[in-house]
Amino acid sequence: MKKLFAIVIVATLLAVSIVILVGCNQADINVEIIQFGNFDALNSAAEGFTQRLEDWANEQGKTIHFEERNANATASNVAPSVQSAIANQPDLIYAIATPCAVNAAGNTTDIPVLYTAVTNPTGEGLVGQDNVYGTSDMNPVALQIELIKDLVPNVKKIAFLFCSSETNSVVQVGMAKVQCALMKIDTKDFAVSSASEIAQVVASIGEDFDAIYIPTDNMLANSISTVASANTHNIPLIVGEAGMIAGGGWATLSINYKLLGAQTAEIAIKLLSGQQVSDAERHQMYKGALELVISEDAKTALGLTSEQVTALQQKYGE
């Protein structure tokens, strides 16, 4: 009886997996998308990519299937997602954010891996591997510091808030410090190692700071509302990307991740239509226009007139 039961279970599992496998391979083109977390920026990067590729596939009269996987912002979920993506032998893998890109590139040398939302592809070792292509989302850190100066003209001291285990953030904070040194602004690091510490670390930022700066940091993007509500001194909160504004960030100059995704899709189109991708095109920086985003609350708090906002938009829009 037990044996029979076991056989039935195994048979069902086999049948289910065969159905799933067959179901996957019906389209002309199969793309595996591995996204690190469910953040606005990364969602936009996925959307821009899939939209552009779908449009192209329609023009070509081909069908395209996207298998989307999400690691839910957990490092230990990345490897299994990548493994199952590779097991499906797709035409290409689209890896969104550094952990996914690094893992995908490390696990396949034949399937093309296209990355995006990676700040420092050279530092992560993505440059120099034959099957790896992509776009960097290197944040306009220096310009964002300049924006702080525009919004808080007498800024003297900036607090950097970031997660100490995210390389992307550490690199950006380093760049921000260089810019601050040029502008003669003092800085102090407030590094956080887990989400449960954020409220207390933010509370420990003294009134003598004129601004708080958060780079494109995954953990802090996730907890941006915690930061905003612990910021009792109402210190201007300048953030690395527009996704953090809805959660309580004040202002940012931001890369448009949807355009970045579409830019990455252009490389994918070249690959899928068998064209040569030149070395110069392999690893690209963001080419679109920057967006100035300021929350309504911040405009009131900073006393910005609509003319001032327009002037800033013109300054950074190019």
Partner 1 sequence: MLNLLNVTFMGILRLIPSGIGEGLAWGILALGVYISFRVLDVADMSVDGTLALGGVVTAVLVANGTNVVLAILISVISGAVAGAITGLMHTKLKIPAILSGILMMFALYSVNIHIMSGKSNVSLLKQPTLLNLLSDWLQIDRSVINIIVFALFAALVIAAIYWFFGTKLGSAIRATGCNLQMARAQGIDTDSKVIIGLAISNGLAALAGSLIAQKDSNATVDMASGAIVIGLASIVIGELIFKKNLPFWAKLAGVIVGSIIYRLIIMLALQMPFAETYDMKLITAILLVLAMSVTVIKKRHHKKEAKHA
Residues that bind partner 1 (CB under 8 A): 37-38, 70, 72-74, 164, 189-201, 203-204, 206-208, 219, 222-226, 228-230, 232, 246-248
CB closer to partner 1 out of 188 and 287: 188
CB closer to partner 1 out of 136 and 295: 295
**Burial 155-171, CB ≥16 within 10 A → b, else e:** beebbbbbbeebebbbb
CB closer to partner 1 out of 134 and 247: 247
Give the whole-angstrom CA distance, residue 156 versus residue 154.
6
Q: Tell me the sheet residues that pair with 158.
A: 187, 211
CB closer to partner 1 out of 77 and 284: 77
Cα angle at 172 between 168 and 177, to 5 degrees?
Answer: 150
CB-based contact 254:241 (threshold 8 Å): yes
| Tokens, residue 122 | 């050279």
Minimum distance, C-beta of residue 60 to partner 1, in the bound complex (Å): 32
CB closer to partner 1 out of 73 and 265: 73
CB-based contact 32:93 (threshold 8 Å): yes
CB-based contact 169:216 (threshold 8 Å): yes
Minimum distance, C-beta of residue 231 to partner 1, in the bound complex (Å): 11
Looking up tokens 């960030």 gives 249
Give the whole-angstrom CA distance, residue 201 versus residue 195.
10
Give the whole-angstrom CA distance, residue 150 versus residue 230.
24
Minimum distance, C-beta of residue 51 to partner 1, in the bound complex (Å): 20
CB closer to partner 1 out of 70 and 252: 70
Minimum distance, C-beta of residue 209 to partner 1, in the bound complex (Å): 11
Minimum distance, C-beta of residue 14 to partner 1, in the bound complex (Å): 25
CB closer to partner 1 out of 96 and 198: 198
Minimum distance, C-beta of residue 255 to partner 1, in the bound complex (Å): 21
| Tokens, residue 175 | 């760049």
* Helical residues (DSSP H) of the chain, grouped into ranges: 2-24, 40-60, 75-87, 98-107, 141-151, 167-182, 198-203, 218-222, 224-230, 257-272, 279-282, 296-302, 306-317
Minimum distance, C-beta of residue 234 to partner 1, in the bound complex (Å): 12
